[in-house]
Structure 1
């Protein structure tokens, strides 16, 4: 009984933290008409994105509120005609420049190298750099709003996390965990105020940086071999004395990260090992998550069968509190709360399996992404 009471209190505290983060501390850039006067470069790295880059490009070309806007696209060795799609969509728009990338040298992973090429080959007059992924579609004033929030936060790096589009059951189980994890376990106000690099979060789908602060941190060259280059870049900014900020970008951008279950499975598998570090740390974190969020409904069933209604009631309460935390996270980030939150114990279980798979394949040197080795 004591253990179950402790479980309820722990989940209740974490759910309260999720609510406070989402309702009080999460920045929410205004998606309405806003204008910035400084020059901004939007940087788009592409590798074999011919089938989905067109909506992203059209949204970039439709940006408003940034009179001095440059769009720089890097074709990173695509073999599916990505560059041709870029040329067709861009037409003769003078704001867009298409660059041909070179293969990453030893010690570099593909994504950091592509981003570094973009940052160092764009017009040096741009004071703000906005990195965007091909699966992101921006609202008309998204870039202007993000730059405005970057300056309001007095930050060197702002991560306006997009609304993650979900269509399949696998999407709905796994994708919302991204926002839920940092809203539940990361104190947002302390993250912004503290100089500690360990208190950092960022999403590379849409990342806005002050150019001077980015270069002072070493840019993507400082995270050349990092799978989670977005989070590591945020840490590098902190180490260089800069501030970082996280925002709800659900009104600014939408992102459909993976089209199929194999893509989603492999996408998480390639990077989860880097999220936790040492396998023992991963095992400890996953065990705690399973105990807090997957065990309660199992304990409730077991308690009912054992004739312990009080224990069963407490276990059900723990489950419902976990569901409430998941729903609070969804509401704070433009996600789908119901009925998806009811399956939260299953979601955490799938996360545990993906984490095990990530370490298993890394140990056997079988991790790769888009035809390139990850580790």
Structure 2
């Protein structure tokens, strides 16, 4: 099978959810199929400014084609235009202009999709939200697989996505929750599709080390307002004030916002995979405050390490993942956050039990062996429906 992935950014130092998802799939599929990635030269998702050199690069066995972004995003004008789009009546033409301004708009990428249409059996478009999918997918619609990575957010209610979701020949969902939401929003019941997700390497219990002392709460990912990091910081300090203790909170990931320094809050920045595994082993629990998720890789990684999670229960995917796994607790406000922390920090056996239940859930549904079987079956079905 000859497969082309289309994604906004791609590289070993790109760690966005959909981008990581794409790289993991691409590298694993490349051991059995011819796989290429068509992407932009951008690394920064805020400006989409060119960072990588245009051209072809081989990354872990995957041929990557990069194309220049026509122009970086001007966030002041984009945000002002977004107020028009989400603040009242507007035209279809304005929605398309909003998409162009959101970016990354890369004429060379779109030309390459059209020119290489006959070179591939499938074009897999990762995430519904950006220009690379909105303008790229129609150029290969007869071979298009869409992986929406969607969640309940304002843009998904725009009319232009009604048109987009009617185009692909096959849909791959991350979770049952995402599938249900999309079928409620779009007339796609007749479109073939399946749930696949992303896999997790499950470490052996022998490789795990003891919890750190004092106890550590851990967040891994982009440190950003949209990820709920400011709320987590505020909740943690309120909890510390009400419950004086040596409890620590660590943020591990690139920071797009500046949080005030605090002696009990560690800002670790981007960490290596090895350091991430160490942190997961040492923490008492993993906290995920994000209000928007289509599949939480962090939760899966925490459960694989037999660690319990405490997640934002206003996010349907996080709440449903937690219920399905029995691997943690969820909260909807500060009072619930504090009550959950009280319970988890006071009961080591409960933390161990939740962690073990989460690990069994990952082994059953999200080990790479299981996910790769689902992915292969989905892509073979997708090829059949495109013929």
Alignment TM-score, normalising by the size of structure 1: 0.30
Highest RCO, 1 vs 2 (Cα 8 Å, sep ≥ 6): 1
Alignment TM-score, normalising by the size of structure 2: 0.30
